[in-house]
Amino acid sequence: MDNNCPFATVLSATTSPRNKTGSWRTMCPRYINLMPPCNAVCPTGENVQRWLSFARSGNFRQAWNVIVQNNPFPAIMGRICYHTCEKVCNRSHFDEAVSINILERAVGDMAISHGWKFENVVPATGKKVLVVGSGPSGLAAAYFLRKFGHEVEIKEARALTGGMMRYGVPRFRLPGSIIDAEIRRITDLGVKISCNSRVSDLGSEINKFDAIYVCIGASKAIKPDMEVKSGSSVIDAVDLFKKLTNEQSHSVKFEKNVIVYGGGNTAIDAARMALRLGAEKVNIVYRKTLSSMPAHETEIHEALSEGIKILCLRTIRVIDHREVLIDKMNYDEESGILSKSGEEETLIADSVILAVGQFMDDSVVRNIEGIVVTDGGIIETDEYMMTGAKGIFAGGDATSTKRTATVAIAHGKKGAQYIDAYLNGKEVEQKSKPDVINFKKLNTSYYFSSPRLTLPPISSISMEERTIALTGDEIVTEASRCFSCGNCHHCNNCYVYCPENAIQKLLDGSLKVNHDYCKGCGICAVECPCGAIKMMPEK
């Protein structure tokens, strides 16, 4: 300012920043990361919000990288995971949950078609781990153990890898090529898998390996209490799927009427499979009510849409050739008491498929010192997933009654961590988890109702998988529906609305409070759509 200018009444620009208004502040905004409910409920701990945030910006590779930090099977799980994440999605309080599962499949498929590989493992530790069983739990354990730098060998009793992913899920839901592709990535990491190698002597294996992870699944069918007259056509679902997997589908055919007995996902899968193998009328017979069926809602829905009928509150008493004698039941949902109503009926069935549950074949662990199999038929482990036998850990369906592939993968991941800790003589670091953010903490003024992405309706009953070919834009659009609960997704609201220009946008797009000027008004916290800014008392 030269002397020619009037004193005091005329001022140069940019002189106000010397007035540090930050001194007015009593509360200070802080960027926080809260736990989004999707992440919180995911058994594998998938950071759903984070990979969706990469997907929304079109960085699908990075999205995939984030998924496989917790789950090595995006393409498989994008098909068969029962996605509890969507149930708890905060967006469902607003319009409809984000279609996380479909997006996971899309990203997983993209990885397969682009040939994306896992990132390199850390240097070898020289430790060797045996994994017994190549189901989702074993494969996941192998993947994580390998990533810790351990040498891993998987022994699989059956002819093919994949466990129940291969033998328990029909191919029209999960094509074999997808299983192959995602397992190949694990073998590419250097994991050795031997099929047709039933472990007969676990006790001696422990001398050859530094640790063992037993995840032998629950592959034996439970026989229901009923009378089956000889000559009746009755098959276990487990056997049906095994046959279909090993011998190809054309070797199995059904006649007109089929009854499937059971209420779980296997029953649903078996029913739908029967429909594809010649049956015209398929009835699922289930002893309790529809709402108490353990099968997943979407599976039930799809079965119904294919014309399958579900006959509830019925148990089979006798199967006599084509006649199936049924007891009608009463079920009190509150008390859980199931009783015969006294009524009966006879249904006609050319075949009956039994799908009332599975149990573990405990021959592998029988007689191993320290390993205890409970009355419920599962292997007992301690809090670190180790059995009573030192160095022998167990997980998957063999240790749990929550028998889903997702839980199995979660076991594999955790088991690997515990085994790694065991091998290194350390404890697994227990990270404190941030609070879960609920819908009320979000500011949804910045979101707009938009329909969720859905799979196309079933147009024909086919052995082929229903294809969805999502464009990148479609993936971005759906991923953009994510509220990014509890985590900044760089929407810029704080930057835009700060009356003090006290929010700085860094080169990487992240945001920072400039404490020199922030007066602590808190607009940023209120207008943050994600609830990712918290006002903290100024010290």
* Cβ closest to other proteins, residue 54 vs residue 144: 54
Nearest-approach distance from CB 470 to other proteins, in angstroms: 20
Contact at 8 Å (CB) between 98 and 52?
Answer: yes
**DSSP, residue by residue, 373-389:** B-TTS-B---TTSB-SS
383, 483, 513, 338: which is closest to 39 by C-alpha? 483
Q: Which of 23, 24, 184, 472 binds other proteins (CB under 8 A)?
A: 24
Q: Which of 14, 204, 335, 459 binds other proteins (CB under 8 A)?
A: 14
Q: Which of 476, 495, 515, 534 binds other proteins (CB under 8 A)?
A: 495
Nearest-approach distance from CB 501 to other proteins, in angstroms: 5
Site string for other proteins, 146-175 (x = CB under 8 A): ------------------------------
Name the one range near other proteins by CB under 8 A: 17-25, 196-204, 284-292, 397-405. 17-25
Nearest-approach distance from CB 472 to other proteins, in angstroms: 17
Q: Decide if residue 17 touches other proteins (CB under 8 A).
A: yes
Q: Which of 187, 197, 233, 480 binds other proteins (CB under 8 A)?
A: 480
Q: Decide if residue 538 touches other proteins (CB under 8 A).
A: no
* Cβ closest to other proteins, residue 178 vs residue 511: 511
Q: Decide if residue 527 touches other proteins (CB under 8 A).
A: yes
Contact at 8 Å (CB) between 326 and 317?
Answer: yes
Q: Which ranges constitute the DSSP H helices of 42-172?
A: 48-56, 60-67, 74-80, 84-88, 100-114, 136-147, 164-167
Question: How many of the chain's residues bind other proteins (CB under 8 A)?
Answer: 48
> What's the CA gap between 413 and 396, in Å, rounded?
10
Q: Decide if residue 249 touches other proteins (CB under 8 A).
A: no
284, 135, 295: which is closest to 216 by C-alpha? 135
* Cβ closest to other proteins, residue 22 vs residue 395: 22
Q: Decide if residue 493 touches other proteins (CB under 8 A).
A: yes
> What's the CA gap between 448 and 445, in Å, rounded?
8
359, with CB counted inside 10 A (0-12, 13-18, 19+), is middle
81 Cβ neighbours under 8 A, 6+ residues apart:
101, 104, 404, 405, 406
Placement of tokens 């995602």 in the chain: 182
Nearest-approach distance from CB 7 to other proteins, in angstroms: 6
The radius of gyration computed from the CA coordinates of the chain, to the nearest angstrom, equals 28
Q: Which of 433, 446, 462, 510 binds other proteins (CB under 8 A)?
A: 446
Q: Decide if residue 11 touches other proteins (CB under 8 A).
A: yes
Site string for other proteins, 41-80 (x = CB under 8 A): ----------------------------------------
Q: Decide if residue 471 touches other proteins (CB under 8 A).
A: no
User: Which SS3 state, helix, strand or coil, does residue 436 take?
Assistant: strand
Count CB-CB contacts under 10 A for residue 401. Answer: 11
Nearest-approach distance from CB 58 to other proteins, in angstroms: 14
Contact at 8 Å (CB) between 244 and 267?
Answer: no
Q: Which of 109, 128, 462, 496 binds other proteins (CB under 8 A)?
A: 496
Please work out, in degrees rounded to the nearest 5, the angle formed at the alpha carbon of residue 218 by the alpha carbons of 215 and 224. Answer: 170
Q: Decide if residue 15 touches other proteins (CB under 8 A).
A: yes
Q: Decide if residue 12 touches other proteins (CB under 8 A).
A: yes
* Cβ closest to other proteins, residue 145 vs residue 525: 525
Residue 257 β-bridge partners: 281
344 Cβ neighbours under 8 A, 6+ residues apart:
317, 325, 326, 327, 328
Name the one range near other proteins by CB under 8 A: 7-15, 70-78, 183-191, 373-381. 7-15
349, 356, 354: which is closest to 281 by C-alpha? 349
Q: Which of 279, 409, 502, 513 binds other proteins (CB under 8 A)?
A: 502
Question: Binding residues for other proteins, per CB under 8 A?
Answer: 4-21, 24, 445-448, 480, 491-493, 495-502, 505, 514, 516-517, 519-523, 525-527, 535
